[in-house]
Amino acid sequence: MIDPVSGPLQDPAGLYTAALELSRDEGIRGLPLIMGFTGFADAGHAVRQIVDELIRVQGDGALAAFDVDQLLDYRSRRPRIRFVEDHLEGYESPRLALYRLEDGLGRPYLLLAGPEPDLQWERFARAVVGLVDQLEVTQTLWVHAIPMPVPHTRPLGVTVHGNRPELVEGISRWKPVVEFPSAVGHLIELRLIEGGHDVTGFVVHVPHYLAEAEYPGAAVTGLEHLGAAASLMLPSDRLREAARDVERQVAEQVAASEEIREVVSGLEERFDDRTAEIPRRSLLAGPADELPTAEDLGAAVEAYLASHGEADAEADDAGGSPGEEPGTDDAGGSPGEAAGSGASE
């Protein structure tokens, strides 16, 4: 365990440069940490939009910057540069950094964001766990997005994983068993759990036919869930407006093609069939799937966690298992059912 009391940030992995020294009056201890890495499973460019929006609205001063020369394979993801008439300019150097930001109510939180490392995953994960230890992070949340066979005309689904069952049970209903290529966020999640830290991952389900385009609705969904879980008012107004514009454009394209209409109709039918019998369990959606405010989201999470804690205490007093009902099978559906549902319940 790294000493979290005072002095400069310690980097046992030798991967970052810190721009601060720890002290008890700097307001960087005991905050939630949000992580977003681009380059893997970023359907609809959801993670990139989330990170860009958080930094754009709330500043870009970094507490610690990672040495990307040690972590990235530039040949697989070449940085952009601009040629202007007779000279080069605007080389976009990749940046992987830790930021201290504030939400719409001035509540601070940490953001670790940038391109997913290509190299040295274990060293990078060790560095992140070290930061979480030193900064006494209260909980770590991360988000990514995957393409799914779901229609854009239904609420976007979210799968939740981690070691906070009150969030997993409150949002995810389907619990498949699937083997898939991992991301660095998955490794960090495992290492944080091994270190006794609270961590939650959110996977946004993006309609597969929109996965390659910029889909602001996926970013809004990710921000909603991150904000609700961390009780933060994260900025989403600009992305909501962009999402409405995209939805109008998609609706126009669907209306202009009978073939596309048939595809979307088939996805809707399958989605509705698989979710008809599933009780609504999402912390976010209302009875008519209306979008709640940030205050509503925070209040919903706090109320849910409070009631869950009371239920656990009652179960402990009674000698029972919290949240367990006789004769209930909550094992969820098969991987195929999960892929077809796209439901957040």
Q: Where are the domains of the chain?
A: 7-306
Fold topology of 7-306 = Rossmann fold (3.40.50)
The reported pLDDT for the residue numbered 345 is 37
Could you report the per-residue pLDDT of 133-179, keeping only the tens digit for each? 999 999 999 999 999 999 999 999 999 999 998 888 777 766 778 88
Residue 14, phi-psi category: left (phi > 0), alpha (psi -120 to 50), beta (remainder):
left
Residue 82, phi-psi category: left (phi > 0), alpha (psi -120 to 50), beta (remainder):
beta
> Are the CB atoms for 72 and 241 separated by under 8 Å?
no
Residue 176, judged by CB atoms within 10 A of its CB (0-12, 13-18, 19+), counts as middle
| Full-model pTM | 0.78
Distances (CA, A) of 124 to 23, 100, 113: 24, 19, 13
Distances (CA, A) of 149 to 144, 173, 175, 204, 234: 17, 17, 17, 13, 28
Show the DSSP H helices in the chain as ranges.
46-58, 68-71, 121-134, 165-171, 184-194, 216-230, 237-255, 258-275, 294-318, 335-341
> Are the CB atoms for 338 and 161 separated by under 8 Å?
no
> Is the CA virtual torsion 227, 231, 234, 239 positive or negative?
positive
Q: Which long-range contacts (CB under 8 A, 24 or more apart) does 181-185 make?
A: 183/37, 183/40, 183/41, 183/116, 183/144, 184/37, 184/40, 184/116, 184/117, 184/121, 184/124, 184/125, 185/35, 185/37, 185/116, 185/142, 185/144
Distance (Å, whole) CA 51 – CA 75: 24
Could you report the per-residue pLDDT of 15-42, keeping only the tens digit for each? 999 877 665 446 889 999 999 999 887 9
Low-confidence spans in the chain with pLDDT less than 70: 1-7, 21-26, 58-60, 173-174, 276-345
Tokens of 206: 């993006």
Determine the straight-line distance between the first and last CA of the chain, rounded to whole angstroms.
Answer: 38
The reported pLDDT for the residue numbered 245 is 96
